[in-house]
Amino acid sequence: MAGGRCGPQLTALLAAWIAAVAATAGPEEAALPPEQSRVQPMTASNWTLVMEGEWMLKFYAPWCPSCQQTDSEWEAFAKNGEILQISVGKVDVIQEPGLSGRFFVTTLPAFFHAKDGIFRRYRGPGIFEDLQNYILEKKWQSVEPLTGWKSPASLTMSGMAGLFSISGKIWHLHNYFTVTLGIPAWCSYVFFVIATLVFGLFMGLVLVVISECFYVPLPRHLSERSEQNRRSEEAHRAEQLQDAEEEKDDSNEEENKDSLVDDEEEKEDLGDEDEAEEEEEEDNLAAGVDEERSEANDQGPPGEDGVTREEVEPEEAEEGISEQPCPADTEHFHHGHSGSPHSSLLSLGQRTPITARFT
């Protein structure tokens, strides 16, 4: 009986002792804090912290398998951040689409190194050893920095961040329509199309109102005066064009007149030259006739020979004298300017018979 009674009592005492031990051990285990992550989440509100000091950033997405494979390596690298004197951060592109647009992230995971506001893209495997060597050996100095419009702090990338933020909000709204409310996807697309058209019309109306506020229309009399000035300017231009055409025509007429005068002077010069040549020919013919006469008087005896000589010489004289032109025909040659002097003299000689008398 006594042994049967002691058994349950011993069991109860053992249970009480275990409970007491558990009660004393529980608060001690609860007092131990869980291990905290050394990776600092970055958002649109605190991303400017990377502008000071040295940082390494990782862009990831929860659904990305490659990002999940590098999580442990990234955590180990963050634990040694104090030794390496570097801060480690991460960016969830689903929650922070603006930052992904600011850094223009197109592939996941993406790593960036920042040193005093100068950013460089790290394209290594993302394992702990390579990340550690990248910092210790300062391999980032051989990488071309993102400068100019490519820099995340530039105005261009700020605008890109705004566009990515808007697209992220639209995507979240689309998920709310299709997942939470159960609306078909095509209804969500129609809604966004109509919203885009309405927003465009509204922005156009706002621009028109702003332009009307800053644009001051001219008074009526000023507008009429400006119209009159415009018409007068057009008329003045037309008159100038007309005057220019008239001056051009006058200059052409003067050039034509000058050319005609020059032609006439050339013709007169040619006529004077022809007259001089005709006079010389006439003088030569007269001298030849005089010589023949003097030879006939000196050499020819009276008698038959004299008669014969007289008969022959008058014929020669007639032929010589007949070649001399009359004044009327000479004037006709000067005015006509046609034919040669020899042909005109021959024709004159045929029309005017002249006989010679010898003593």
**Each residue of 33-52: pLDDT tens digit?**
456 778 999 998 899 999 99
How many domains are there within the chain? 2
Tell me if 276 is assigned to some domain.
no
Give the total residue count for the chain.
359
Supply the pLDDT for residue 221. Answer: 61
Domain with 199, as residue range(s), is 158-214
Q: Which of 204, 181, 205, 185 is nearest to 193 (CA)?
A: 185
Same domain flag for 48 and 144: yes
Supply the pLDDT for residue 61. Answer: 93
Average pLDDT across the chain, whole number: 75
Are 293 and 359 within 8 A, CB to CB?
A: no
Supply the pLDDT for residue 134. Answer: 93
Of 186, 214, 242, the one marking the end of a domain is: 214
Residue 122 has pLDDT above 90, yes or no: yes
What tens digit of pLDDT does each residue of 51-65 get? 999 999 999 999 999
- For 294-312, give one letter per residue: b (16+ CB within 10 A) or e: eebeeebeeeeeeeebbee
What tens digit of pLDDT does each residue of 238-250 get? 888 888 888 887 7
Supply the pLDDT for residue 327. Answer: 42
Over residues 156-177, mean pLDDT: 88
Q: How far apart are CA 269 and CA 275, in angstroms?
A: 10
Supply the pLDDT for residue 299. Answer: 60
**Active site residue: 64, 187, 213, 326, which one?**
64
Residue 222 has pLDDT above 50, yes or no: yes
Are 165 and 98 within 8 A, CB to CB?
A: yes
**Residue the block writes with tokens 């010898």:** 358
Of 118, 148, 178, the one marking the end of a domain is: 148
Residue, of 70 and 33, whose pLDDT is higher = 70
Residue, of 228 and 238, whose pLDDT is higher = 238
Among 115-129, 164-178, 283-297, which stretch is predicted with the lowest mean pLDDT? 283-297
Same domain flag for 143 and 46: yes
Tell me if 317 is assigned to some domain.
no
Q: Is 67 a catalytic residue?
A: yes
Q: Which amino acid is at 276?
A: A
What tens digit of pLDDT does each residue of 90-100 get? 999 999 999 99
Same domain flag for 63 and 124: yes
Tell me if 239 is assigned to some domain.
no
**Active site residue: 6, 67, 213, 326, which one?**
67
Tell me if 268 is assigned to some domain.
no
Tell me if 65 is assigned to some domain.
yes
Supply the pLDDT for residue 148. Answer: 85
Residue 251 has pLDDT above 90, yes or no: no
Tell me if 4 is assigned to some domain.
no
Same domain flag for 191 and 105: no
Supply the pLDDT for residue 102. Answer: 92
Tell me if 265 is assigned to some domain.
no
Residue 3 has pLDDT above 50, yes or no: no
Tell me if 178 is assigned to some domain.
yes
Over residues 141-151, mean pLDDT: 89
Largest interatomic CA distance in the chain? 226
Q: How far apart are CA 114 and CA 145, in angstroms?
A: 9
What tens digit of pLDDT does each residue of 334-355 get? 444 444 444 443 344 444 444 4
What tens digit of pLDDT does each residue of 262-319 get? 777 777 777 777 777 777 777 777 777 777 777 776 665 544 444 444 443 444 444 4
Among 188-192, 198-202, 289-293, which stretch is predicted with the lowest mean pLDDT? 289-293
Listed in sequence order, the DSSP H helices in the chain are 2-31, 65-69, 71-79, 81-84, 97-102, 128-136, 155-175, 185-214, 220-299, 304-322, 327-336, 341-351
